[in-house]
Amino acid sequence: MPISTHPELSDSQAALQAATKNFAQNHLAPGASERDKTCELPIELFREAARVGLVGVNLPERFGGGGLGLTEAALVLEQLAGVDGSFALTVGASAGLTGGHILRAATETQAARWIPPLTRGELGAWALTEPGAGSDAAALVCKAEKTGGSYLINGLKIFVSQGKLFSVMILMARTGEGRGGISALIIETDDAGRESFLIEGKLGMRSMDTARVVLKNCEVPANRLLGAEGDGFSQAMETLVEGRIGAGAVCLGLGQGALDAATEYARGREAFGRSISDFAGVRGQLADCAISLSAARELVYRAARVADSHNDAGPAANMAKLFASEAALKVCDRSIQVHGGQGYIDTSPVNRFWRDARLMTVGEGSSEIIRGVISRSVFEG
C-alpha cells in the first residue's frame, strides 16, 4: 500500500508512518488472508508489534508506551489496517480503549499495575455492550454489588474484543440507578466466576478475538474500581471519543487498501483489447474513491489534532468516524465492482476489506446514533 499523502506530518511522524508500513507489509500482509480463514489472532505478531513500539503509541513512556499523541496512534492504525483490519482493530481496542480508559480514570498505582502489560503486548478488553444495551449503553443491567471489601459481579457482556484472550478487562457494571449508577471495574484473567465464549461466524474482522463474557458471582477486590462509584458511564463516553478517532483511522486503512488493490487490478486486467484502467467508467469510480478517502483523512486527523491539543474532540471525532466508516464501505464496494466476479471471491483482498469495513458503520457507535448526536448540535447549538 503506498503511503498516503499527509503534507502536515513532521519528520518523526513520517518516520513512524514509514516504519509501520514496513512492518505491515513484511509481517502482516503475508498471512492476512489465511488468518481471515482460520479466525486466529496472531499473538506472537501482536507482541512483536508491541516490541517495535506500535502498540500503546499514545500511552506514557513511564508505562512503556510511546509517549506520543492520538495523531501518531492514528498513523499506525491506518497503515496496519491497510493490510489487516483485524490486527489494526485489536491494537486500537487493546491499548487504545482499555489502556486509554485506565490512564484517564485510574490512580497512578492502578495505572502502573495494568498499563505496562498492555504496552508489552498483553491483550486488554473493554466490556460495555450487553444483549439489551448496545446503542443505549445506559440500559446495561450487569450488576456489581459491594460486599465488604469486594464487588460481586453478575451479568452478561457481548461483542467483547479480546474477551477470551485478555489479561486485563475493564467492565462497566451497575452499582446504582440510571447513568450515574454505572461504575468501571477491572477484571483479571484468573478471576473466578468469569467465563468467556468465542463468538463464531462473524462476517468480517474474523481474526480478532470477539467473545461473550458471562459473570456469575465473580468477586473482585474493591481496589479494582476505576475512579469513584457512578463514574463509569462518563468515563466510557470520554473513552469512546478517542476510540472513534482510532476507528476512523482503521477505516482509512481499509479503504486505502481496497483502492490500491482495485487500482492494481485495473492496470493488469484487459477487456476489449485494452487495460480497463483506460475506461472512463473505471477511472471515474476510482477517482470518487480517492476523493472520499482524502476528505475522510482530513476529518480523522483534524479530530486527532484537536484531541492532542487537549480540547473537546467529541464533535470532531463523531464526524470523522461517521464519514470515514461510510467512505470506507463505499470505497470497498466500488473496489469489488472494479474487480468484477474476482472481487466476489474470498481469495481477493477487496472481499476481505469490504467484510471488515462493514463492521465499522455499526461498532464504536452506529451511523444512526452518531448522526443523532451530530444533529442535536446542529439544532441545539
- Catalytic residue ranges: 364
Q: Which candidate, 105, 79, 85, places its Cα nearest to that of 353?
A: 85
Length of the chain (residues): 381
Strands 168-174 and 124-127, sheet pairing: parallel
The whole-angstrom separation of Cα 316 and Cα 18 is: 26
> Residue 367, class by beta-carbon neighbours within 10 Å (0-12 exposed, 13-18 middle, 19+ buried)?
middle
The whole-angstrom separation of Cα 240 and Cα 314 is: 9
DSSP code, position 151: E
The whole-angstrom separation of Cα 173 and Cα 142 is: 5
The whole-angstrom separation of Cα 39 and Cα 24 is: 18
Residue 335 · residue 350 · CB < 8 Å: yes
